Structure 1
């Protein structure tokens, strides 16, 4: 009896440290019928210290981009406002332990995409570090064999506060990009180490909530860079062509319209008493997309000039016939909770948004100030209305 109680106590303690103990049995899985994403790894994937971890803001970022996703795995945790709690994060597990279950998990979950962050416990335990890169390479091979049609995102591990551990982590991380590059086009490297600093750690190993949010942003950017890896960015919808005005649907700002001024895109309040110039600047001719599909928005009072994104900012410019201009001036209408989203033809998963009265191209989970504001989801919605200047 004493021996059994001691073993139970040790299991609890080691699980709390996130170093040795395996995860417990799974609860019933949740499913919303979306694109299946397996988040795979150790206690950092589980969300030690912050239940749900990076999965909280990753879900929100993907949802705000219009993606319907289904996290899968045999574990389940996180806050009530996280719609999907499933994951495959195992407290204290090393690369070899994840490898031992990978084929079975992949068979049972059939993911479209896999997010892999593993190796921290190899470093923390100083477990045969000379062969850790080979173990990771073998794990990637086994995942690819079990899920040949999935996109696999392999990240470097996040920083560690202890200098000796961080030195081992740096050596391990340095081997990952070349290994990933050798595995084919469906394996993608994610630099997670640079996304955080040791100031983002709660205990020298596991992130704070802010650190997990940084991880979420890096994962979201990685998924956005591979079209289809998180599913489609909302259903395609048809919008009316001809002269139209494009209205903001953000609550409290629904009297504002997309306009151009000195060739740059803004939003501005427009009503029946507005000047003729403002009404004209807030009117667009919706035409077939210059890139060969979807739509382009031609200025009503500057024919031949089209709404386009350039270095993130949205402006109007003339159609010079180049493939770059034509793709940057083409927008695809996607369903949104309010109105439609206008997705960039050349950057699927990036959208026309307004922020501080300016028009920008925004990527949910991206690194720019236009990407991460709390109001991002609402500010991506537009209504294609009757024109102010027929």
Structure 2
């Protein structure tokens, strides 16, 4: 397991420092699938990653587990953990539409974000017909992913007055185009989010401009429940002695244990030593902080699983408010089993990395926050105890 985790971590660190080349699909984390769809602004021209940088982190910091999807995987900065997208520089609406069915069926997005039409305007390609082309594109996306929410944004401001006038006519028609396509299609007023002062070259945003786009996208997603997923439903953990099993595929024979006071995972089976079985057994008790749950060591009564400077370990209950908060965990539903969220740091979860236990924050900048395998590594199963 260490070798596999080390390889993942090394790959991500290389990418973060610009040494790993183009990002790969391995960084997808299994969260709610969101497809950023468009042209160079979606790709991130002038600022690699574009609005996707701030949007990913905004959603992650709000507790959403998201997975950007698409056939494109542009290289980008360390603060963009997930580089997948469907932005094609220089493409018009009709060119994107010719490929959208295949892209959407392959990626199966839960949500699609569309900022598209700038190249129709710049190329003066039948601008009066552009709204109808957008409508056709949305129809094809909806047919390929009928359960998806589709967000269609107006074009951002353009520096050239002639281009801005063309864009204005296109933008004016979009609300009606969106409204005609039902409750799962949503209009986003992106034009009012920026000014020409937010443009780097008269067409593409600066980093500050992309951040404003991200904020407008995030607000739109927040207004449509489920479009960015959620943090799972509250789960009441079963009381009494339990063993916490890893649910990451390929590692489901490993359990949470303590060793030299540090939390880790190890393979446990019927033939394992008695000490290992006891180390891998916990008593689920009411949360020391006053709610949710705490996990007391089976063979060190009075010692509890806690996080401290992001590392997870066992500590004796010294009666302090900090220790008791650090040792309290709240169960949330997960795709496999249950996710354990820190009582005092909502949106941060118990995770295993390189056989070690850490408190991971989706969207965080630390090595243990990396997007690769994030969702599987956050899931746990509360099984029968190895030591009753």
Structure 2 counterpart of 1:29: 25
Distance 1:244 1:233 in 2: 21
SS in structure 2 at match of 1:179: helix
Q: 1:165 to 1:189 in 2, by over 3 A?
A: same
Q: Deviations over 1:84-127 (max 9, x none)?
A: 10000000111001101100001110001000000011011111
Structure 2 counterpart of 1:63: 60
**Aligned partners of 2:132 and 2:177 also within 8 Å:** no
Alignment of 1:279-294 (within 5 A): none
Structure 2 counterpart of 1:42: 39
Structure 1 counterpart of 2:155: 157
- Cα offset, 1:178, TM superposition: 1.3
**Aligned partners of 2:23 and 2:83 also within 8 Å:** no
Among residues 112, 115, 119, which one is paired with 1:114 in the alignment? Answer: 112
Q: Deviations over 1:115-140 (max 9, x none)?
A: 00000110111111121111111111
Among residues 37, 47, 51, which one is paired with 2:48 in the alignment? Answer: 51
Cα-Cα RMSD: 3.4
Structure 2 counterpart of 1:172: 170
Structure 2 counterpart of 1:313: none
Moved over 3 A (4+): 237-241, 243-246, 334-338
Alignment of 1:1-390 (within 5 A): 28-30=24-26, 31-77=28-74, 78-234=76-232, 236-237=234-235, 336=341, 339=344, 341=346
SS in structure 1 at match of 2:216: helix
Distance 2:218 2:123 in 1: 30
- Cα offset, 1:74, TM superposition: 1.0
Distance 1:63 1:234 in 2: 14
Q: 1:230 to 1:130 in 2, by over 3 A?
A: same
Q: 1:245 to 1:229 in 2, by over 3 A?
A: closer
Q: 1:104 to 1:338 in 2, by over 3 A?
A: same
Distance 2:212 2:62 in 1: 17
Q: How many pairs does the alignment contain?
A: 242
- Cα offset, 1:238, TM superposition: 5.2
Q: TM-score, normalised by structure 1?
A: 0.56
Higher relative contact order (CA 8 A, sep 6+): 2
- Cα offset, 1:234, TM superposition: 4.8
Distance 1:245 1:115 in 2: 38
- Cα offset, 1:80, TM superposition: 2.6
SS in structure 1 at match of 2:169: helix
- Cα offset, 1:338, TM superposition: 5.9
Distance 1:74 1:245 in 2: 44
Structure 1 counterpart of 2:252: none
Q: Deviations over 1:229-259 (max 9, x none)?
A: 1111355355969x9599xxxx99xxxxxxx
Distance 2:228 2:207 in 1: 23
Unaligned runs of 5+ in 2: 1-21, 238-285, 293-307, 310-319, 322-331, 333-338, 348-388
Distance 1:186 1:194 in 2: 23
Distance 2:70 2:151 in 1: 16
SS in structure 2 at match of 1:175: helix
- Cα offset, 1:79, TM superposition: 1.1
**Aligned partners of 2:54 and 2:214 also within 8 Å:** yes
Q: Deviations over 1:275-323 (max 9, x none)?
A: xxxxxxxxxxxxxxxxxxx9xxxxxxxxxxxxxxxxxxxxxxxxxxxxx
Q: Deviations over 1:183-232 (max 9, x none)?
A: 01110111111110000000000000000000011111111111111111
- Cα offset, 1:29, TM superposition: 1.9
